[in-house]
Amino acid sequence: MATNHVSDDIAELFDAAKAVRDHAHAPYSGFSVGAAIRAGSGQVFGCCNVENSAYPEGTCAEAGAISKMVAAGERVIDTIVTVCGGELVGTPCGGCRQKIREFATNDTTIVVCDLDGERSRYSMAELLPDSFGPEHLSGSAC
Ligand code: THU
């Protein structure tokens, strides 16, 4: 029986992330991840992790979803939902936190799910406090 809840505000993203997770290429870790972003326009972009036999060349699900969003001309992450298995809450890795940060606002929500539904949700500041972002570069010439 499903124990976790999928609230209405993330239902579309949860379904998209869970579906794209089925396409994960994770033969080395065996850990499949799906991610789906609702961008500023409302459009949804999803991707899975894509591992590589040259291990460091693998890419995370969040990174793929962000690339799709940017390639479509979007620059704001309203909400990002990730879906993975495992007992522990599968929070985004450090690199993905920084990648999300690039396109986050004060209202961006990051929702971490397992296959049954939501485990935790965070603001960007909760996941990456005192973070470095684009505003640090603007107006600085040195
Ligand atoms: N992974 C993600 O896709 N997102 C994360 O934020 C954490 C880790 C992937 C990378 C690798 O393919 C597998 O999960 C195990 O680390």
What pLDDT score was predicted for residue 137? 96
Ligand 1, residue 95: give the atom nearest the CA: 6
pTM: 0.95
Whether 62 is catalytic: yes
Report the C-alpha gap between 50 and 131 in whole angstroms.
Answer: 27
Beta strand 33-39 pairing with 77-84: antiparallel
Which tens digit of pLDDT belongs to each residue from 15-71? 999 999 999 999 999 999 999 999 999 999 999 999 999 999 999 999 999 999 999
Report the C-alpha gap between 28 and 77 in whole angstroms.
Answer: 30
Cα(24) to ligand 1 centroid in Å equals 10
Ligand 1, residue 50: give the atom nearest the CA: 12
Cα–Cα distance list, 92 to 8, 63, 135, 136 (Å): 22, 10, 23, 23
